[in-house]
Amino acid sequence: MKKCLILFALFVACLWAKAQSVVPQVNENVELMSILSRMAGFPEYNMDMAGRYIKDMDNYFKDNTEHPAVHYMKELRNKYGISYDAVMSMAVHLDNRNGTLSLIEEVTPNLDDRWTDVDKDEFLSCLNSFYKDTKFNEFFKSQKDIYNSSLNISLA
């Protein structure tokens, strides 16, 4: 009987839960962290599955492989294991206000644990430098057609 009550309570809770819709979008911070990780040689960010976008990206950023932020990302991977989903964990915790990146203030921090011992101020300094020095926003805006066509495919 107790199991039936628990199951019934779970069923009622599920009925009352509100579903949230997921809207596909392209996020500049996610692209920034992905491209920086690609430039740093992270194998998981070096798969060439996006055709023209990959060619545009590699061509645009080819002169920035020695940027201090690229070297810093390599160091973060080697020292703290920053890779795979830890990269995206940071991406979704970034706020970009007028071209200046900062960490989102959170009541309950949800940043991946691999970032715990990283000097966030130093990281943000390198990231902001890369963003400005490479004119990242210009690249991002130049890819609008590719982003939109990808979103249209995923919505179809």
Domain locations along the chain: 26-142
**Interatomic CA distance for residues 80 and 7, integer angstroms:** 43
Residue 106, pLDDT score: 85
Cβ–Cβ < 8 Å for 53, 22? no
Q: What is the pLDDT of residues 1-26, one digit of tens each?
A: 554 445 445 555 555 556 667 788 89
pLDDT digits (tens, 9 = 90+) for 131-149: 999 999 999 999 999 999 8
Q: What is the pLDDT of residue 13?
A: 56
Neighbours of 124 (CB within 10 A): 16
pLDDT recorded at residue 156 = 52
Q: Which stretches in the chain have pLDDT values below 50?
A: 3-5, 7-8
Task: Express as a percent the part of the chain with pLDDT over 90.
Answer: 72
List Cα–Cα distances, 58 to 38, 54, 67, in angstroms.
9, 6, 14
| H helix or E strand, kind and range, residue 6 | helix 2-16
- pLDDT score for 24: 85
pLDDT of the residue at 78: 98
